[in-house]
Structures are given as C-alpha cells and as structure tokens.
Amino acid sequence: MCTECGAEFKPYQYNQKRCRSCVLKFDRRAEHRVLTKKCPSCEKVFMPRTARQVYCSSHCGEKGRVKNYYLRTYGLEREEVETLLRNCDYKCQICGGEGFIMNSSRHKAKLVVDHDHKTGKVRGMLCHNCNRALGLLADSVDNMQRAIAYLSKQ
C-alpha cells in the first residue's frame, strides 16, 4: 500500500513504499527507470526487483550461466552441446557410462566437453573420470599405449 496516496500497488523494488505515480511526483529521474525487462533465456517479460536482475527466475539464470560457460570456454552454443550429447547417445565416448555429477555445487552435467588443449578443438563428450584420465595422461597417445602395455602385463 502506497504511503502517499494509499493505493494498492505491486512494488518493483525491494522495500518500495510509494506507488509509481507518487514516486514520479517527487523524483523526476524515476521516469527513466526500467520497469520491465525481457528474460534472455525464456524471453518472458518480467518486472526486475533490482536494476541488475537479468533473468526472470533462478532456473532461467542457471540456464543462462551454463549457456555462457559453454560459449566462453569452448565457443559452443547450447544447441551444439545438445547435438554432441545426442550424437553420443548421452553416454561417455570412452567407457560408455552415463557419467555422474561430480560436485553438485559446481557441476550441473553428467558428461563434460572434451577438447584438445593445444588447438581448442572439441573432440566429444566424456564422463568426468575419463576426461580426467586423458588429462592426467597429458592427452598423449604414447602415454596411453604405455599404460595399456603396463595393464596388459598384469
């Protein structure tokens, strides 16, 4: 309820005490404030609680962060990652396992993007263990062949 005119209103900022028309009477800068935004994830128009709020919900925010991560790290759009996952039938391309979420506070996907660290070229989708194994063997075919030879002796 507005403290000036008593009208019912939906606040667009945290602890807002006056309705939009009363705010405009006292603060000329308020007419330039953004009241609605378009969510970049779902394209729904929403009323942000703060000027810095970009996404309409935490779900859309998480989707946006994941999308930005793939784009920034691997140069891949979310659709390209989905295509990679479909092409490998949502299974690790080395062990054939479904993968797992390693640390739910940091990781959201069961499979991770594998890429060549020298060229940056994306090779496919692997589970965390297989991806880590390749990294520990320095992405070297020679190291892998020596590891195979070692295991074959046993």
User: Which sequence spans correspond to the domains of the chain?
Assistant: 1-33, 36-75, 76-153
What's the CA gap between 85 and 79, in Å, rounded? 10
Two tokens, residue 115: 């890429």
Note the pLDDT tens digit of each residue in 98-108: 988 877 777 77
CATH number of 76-153: 1.10.3720.10, 2.60.120.10, 3.40.1800.10, 3.40.50.300?
Answer: 3.40.1800.10
Q: How far is residue 102 from each of residues 84, 126, 132, measured CA to CA in Å?
A: 20, 13, 12
Of the candidate ranges 4-13, 56-65, 131-140, 142-151, the one whose mean pLDDT is the lowest: 4-13
Q: How many CA atoms lie within 13 A of 109 on its CB side?
A: 22
Is it the case that residue 31 has pLDDT exceeding 70? no
pTM: 0.66
